[in-house]
Structure 1
Amino acid sequence: QALCFQIDKLDKAVAAAHTFSVANPEHMEMRQNLEYYKMMAGVKDTDFKDLEARPHMEEFRMGVHFYTEEQFEPAIGHFEKALEEYFLADTECRALCEGPYDYDGYNYLEYNADLFQSITDHYMQVLNCKQNCVLELASRPGQSTPIEDFLPAHLNYLQFAYYNIEKYQEAIECAKSHLLFHPTDEVMNQNLAYYEAVLGEERAKPVAFRENFQKYVNRSVLEKELLYFAYDVFGIAFVDPDTWTPAEVMPKRLREKQKVERETAARITEEIGNLMKEIEHLVDEKTKDSLEIAKMVREGGPLLYDDIIVSMISKSLNGSQRVVLDGVILEEECRELHHLSNTAASFGDGYRGKPSPHTPNEKFQGVTVFKALKLGQENKVPLKSAHLFYSLSEKVRRVIESYFRLDIPLYFSYTHLVCRTALEDKQEDREDLSHPVHVDNCILNSEALECVKEPPAYTFRDYSAILYLNDDFEGGNFIFTELDAKTITAEVQPKCGRVVGFSSGSENPHGVKPVTKGQRCAVALWFTLDPRHSERERVQADDLVKMLFDSEETQSTQDEKAQKKSSSAEEHPTSEATQMEDRETKEGQTVAAVLEKDSTELPANAEVKVSESSSVHNSNTSQEPQQQDPTTATDAALDSSNVKDEL
């Protein structure tokens, strides 16, 4: 890029700089160069291209982009092209593995083997190389880890994209192909059953999986069996790059050996971790006071409404950027929204119809602001209640923005009125959570104690809040945890008018304890500081409110004027032309505080199982299927999906 810049070939200089920056995103000097190029005359946006972009990865990236925008037809085209390019790249990668034996440096000087041992060593090296093509093709420049389950992820995206454009035969084909990799995937099997029911048994029966995937899986399994045999008998190490490999492929003796090794490694890691925690604790104690003071100064802005009180702050919640507010809405407002949730909400809303997205022991239902307003417009729910939902969500946004002293405005990212209902016959010996511990804007890896801020996480979310509507249920407490998703740092009991607000990053892993009896209702809100990611439905809701309530006020005023004119004409027939019109007035809402319960801080330890699911879920043909974003099956895929992480 430097040489091209010197000879005034800016397009090539920009492309070279961009290519280097993609592979080395932390390189500060190159980032500065790119900023400089952006300000130069004659430089076009199209000049910023990756010269080393791999066709299959570029097509996959474009497919994810269109999928996220819910443009399913172009997404399908890119995913299908990505598969075509993937198999070409896989063939090339495997061919390159069939080169001379790699002696690993100068080991050839000491290598001494007979014919059969030499053949075995070389062939195992070739097979190992071919297996690792999976990692090679799933790797991205600038990323330390490859995309997990990369090839099956294409099929996961495709089956749901085809479903959305009502191409059920293709959806069945992709679902069956995906099941070649994960035959016990419960949700994908339910997707398949739904597609077959919609298409009809006679038309669905002949549809089979794609043959190239069956050949791919069979070949890969045979290679793994040979590699594991060599590992077991000759000690030639093999690390399986795939997550879908059937357990029986590995010899039993080797499985038991690896189990012992894992347990030993886990014990050593735990001991080292405990030692490191002690050291960190000593260091943290010295800096804790100054950090807490800085956080407290930043938080604690005005609450804007006299009746709202701060019940708990970050310090009492054992974390940072956390707050519990009470008296945000009135009892009657809670009851009205609770009634709206049971009138307007549909099962699995936000999850394309999946009635139990987080746990099979509870029923989930919800409704968005725009959907509630549309139902109100159609007289299916009280329009007043829908407008209250709209207004109170805006109230919470303003309070959170003010309390955390944000310099730029918060925008709605997603708003959802949700209820979780305990299923009476499924509460015995229950150990799961109502919502597993997670972080709102990054992928939580509780074992590695890290949170990766990349898709499919909603990386643009900056603050979150939950407005609770009731407390007449058992369980369902909100919890903050450490990054291990097990150690509870604070616990908050829901009640009418209470709001829990917090920043959406890795500093605030959170979840919901199981609802064991009754129904727990709340308004879940996520906010972003980036207007480019503001909620599209919110803009539609703003327009609908303006249309509905401006027209209502106009009609009401006209009716009032007509009535006054009629009355005046009867009493003073000669003075009709001199009647004065009343000024229009707008009604405002007053909000009073209702303080009933004190928040509860219960630091404790709890075992939390983090569960994820992908794809569509619905075994009932009368409901639409639901899919969480397929990238939940890839752990680090390129973009996000339709799933909403309800709190």
Structure 2
Amino acid sequence: MSEVEFEPQSPRLFIPNFLSLNECRELEFIHKSSSTVGYRPIVFSTTLSHLIATNSSHFIIPFIPIRERLKDKLEEFFKCEYELFIEFTGLISWSRGASIGWHSDDNRPYLKQRHFSEVCYLNTYGPDFSGGLFHFQDGEPKSIVPKAVNILTDVLMYTADDHNIHSVDEITEGERLTLALWFSRDGSHDEDMKLISLLSRHLLHDNMADSYLPLPASSNMYWFSKDQASNYQFGFNICWARLHVLGYDIYISQDSSCESDVSESLLKPVRLVRENELLDQEFVNIMHALQVFC
């Protein structure tokens, strides 16, 4: 299928088959390995600044060619006679219960620097999740059905203003994963300059000077309290939360109860439990379980 351009009053472009499935799977791996809780417990996010802050800056490398291709296509479609700057890049996954109502992407005073939006769908409506359809309030297409099947996957580009008010239905099953980018005409919001500054500070840090390997992230970053996890009776590790969404619990071999100190799951071997069945495979830690099993 070729590119689909829509009417000028609602400038938007839908591009089927833009990203390779291998690129999608690589980004999915990074997200499952590194994500943290988003604006609420049922939304997870991985930002480039977050990867640097957790000593995982090597994970930024796969984003670079994808971001450049998306930026070039956006500038071409909108016939930009000025340079655009990437304002934000993030992997965002929504679990069951997540949704967002009608809005434009510049609908807050602190978001007015956002002029264009791009959404890359990294998994498929139906096999991977139910609900979660993207709808425009006006114009065509009315709805976008995400797919990432066979070899390639889809991208949607549109202006971030009120010409493209949109919503996303509630997720009813599974997890919806996207790569979201926003672009600005204002160079002071250039994400790359901020990332270079963060990288420079980390590379100059004494603890990093003699090492080429990422250091383990603090266990605190993977934890959110029971007040943030309103649907559960106790606070829990965010990695455990990802497994919980998929229907698994964890068992720490050295301790019959992982709930007493879930942060130990970052340091000790774990096994997975589904309903009443203890699975045979033992993982080095909970991060290993996320990377290999999920």
What residue in structure 2 maps to residue 368 of structure 1?
47
Distance 2:53 2:229 in 1: 28
Structure 1's 388 and 543: CA in aligned 2 closer, same or farther, altered over 3 A?
A: farther
Q: CA deviation at 1:499?
A: 0.9
- After TM superposition, the structure 1 = structure 2 runs for residues 132-531 of structure 1, keeping only pairs within 5 Å, are 310-315=2-7, 320-348=10-38, 351=39, 354-355=40-41, 363-375=42-54, 377=56, 383=58, 385-422=59-96, 434-442=99-107, 455-456=108-109, 458-471=111-124, 472-482=128-138, 490-496=142-148, 497-531=153-187
Structure 1's 488 and 326: CA in aligned 2 closer, same or farther, altered over 3 A?
A: closer
Q: CA deviation at 1:396?
A: 1.3
Q: CA deviation at 1:488?
A: 8.4
Q: CA deviation at 1:469?
A: 0.6
Report which structure shows greater RCO (CA 8 Å, sep ≥6): 2
Q: SS of the counterpart of 1:526?
A: strand
- Normalized against structure 2, the TM-score is what? 0.60
Q: CA deviation at 1:340?
A: 1.2
What residue in structure 2 maps to residue 248 of structure 1?
none
**Contact kept? 2:96, 2:171, Cα under 8 Å:** yes
**Contact kept? 1:346, 1:367, Cα under 8 Å:** yes
Structure 1's 376 and 332: CA in aligned 2 closer, same or farther, altered over 3 A?
A: farther
Structure 1's 372 and 389: CA in aligned 2 closer, same or farther, altered over 3 A?
A: farther
Q: CA deviation at 1:377?
A: 3.8
1:352-400 CA-to-partner distances (Å, cap 9, x unmatched) read xx32xxxxxxx1000111222444547xxxx3x4311243223212221
Distance 2:190 2:169 in 1: 30
Q: CA deviation at 1:473?
A: 1.6
Distance 2:156 2:24 in 1: 16
Q: CA deviation at 1:338?
A: 1.0
Unaligned runs of 5+ in 2: 204-226, 237-294
Structure 1's 457 and 542: CA in aligned 2 closer, same or farther, altered over 3 A?
A: closer
Q: SS of the counterpart of 2:28?
A: helix
- After TM superposition, the structure 1 = structure 2 runs for residues 108-147 of structure 1, keeping only pairs within 5 Å, are none
Q: SS of the counterpart of 1:498?
A: strand
- After TM superposition, the structure 1 = structure 2 runs for residues 562-577 of structure 1, keeping only pairs within 5 Å, are none
Distance 1:374 1:457 in 2: 23
**Contact kept? 2:105, 2:160, Cα under 8 Å:** yes
Higher helix proportion: 1
Is 2:226 aligned against 1:534?
no
Q: SS of the counterpart of 2:106?
A: coil
Q: SS of the counterpart of 2:19?
A: coil
Distance 1:510 1:325 in 2: 18
User: Number of paired residues?
Assistant: 205
Q: CA deviation at 1:523?
A: 0.9
Distance 2:106 2:56 in 1: 34
**Contact kept? 2:86, 2:190, Cα under 8 Å:** yes
Distance 1:413 1:400 in 2: 14
Distance 1:391 1:547 in 2: 24
**Contact kept? 1:476, 1:513, Cα under 8 Å:** yes
Unaligned runs of 5+ in 1: 1-308, 356-362, 424-432, 443-454, 550-616, 624-647
Distance 2:104 2:120 in 1: 18
Q: SS of the counterpart of 1:328?
A: strand
**Contact kept? 1:314, 1:322, Cα under 8 Å:** yes
* Percentage of matched positions with identical amino acids: 25
Distance 2:229 2:44 in 1: 17
**Contact kept? 1:369, 1:390, Cα under 8 Å:** no
Q: CA deviation at 1:539?
A: 1.9
Which residue, 228, 243, 249 being the options, matches 1:618?
228
1:450-470 CA-to-partner distances (Å, cap 9, x unmatched) read xxxxx5362221111101111
Distance 1:419 1:545 in 2: 25
**Contact kept? 1:387, 1:545, Cα under 8 Å:** no
Structure 1's 548 and 532: CA in aligned 2 closer, same or farther, altered over 3 A?
A: closer
**Contact kept? 2:95, 2:175, Cα under 8 Å:** yes
**Contact kept? 1:310, 1:324, Cα under 8 Å:** no
Q: SS of the counterpart of 2:142?
A: strand
**Contact kept? 1:422, 1:518, Cα under 8 Å:** yes
Distance 1:476 1:330 in 2: 22
Higher strand proportion: 2
Distance 1:489 1:323 in 2: 10
Distance 1:513 1:388 in 2: 29
Distance 1:319 1:480 in 2: 13
What root-mean-square deviation, in Å, do the aligned CA atoms of Structure 1 and Structure 2 show? 3.2
Q: SS of the counterpart of 1:460?
A: coil
Q: CA deviation at 1:529?
A: 0.7
What residue in structure 2 maps to residue 449 of structure 1?
none
Q: CA deviation at 1:543?
A: 5.4
Distance 2:81 2:235 in 1: 48
What is the letter of the counterpart of residue 51 of structure 2?
A
**Contact kept? 1:502, 1:508, Cα under 8 Å:** yes
Which of the pair has more CA radius of gyration?
1
Q: CA deviation at 1:310?
A: 4.2
Q: CA deviation at 1:512?
A: 1.0
Distance 1:319 1:514 in 2: 28
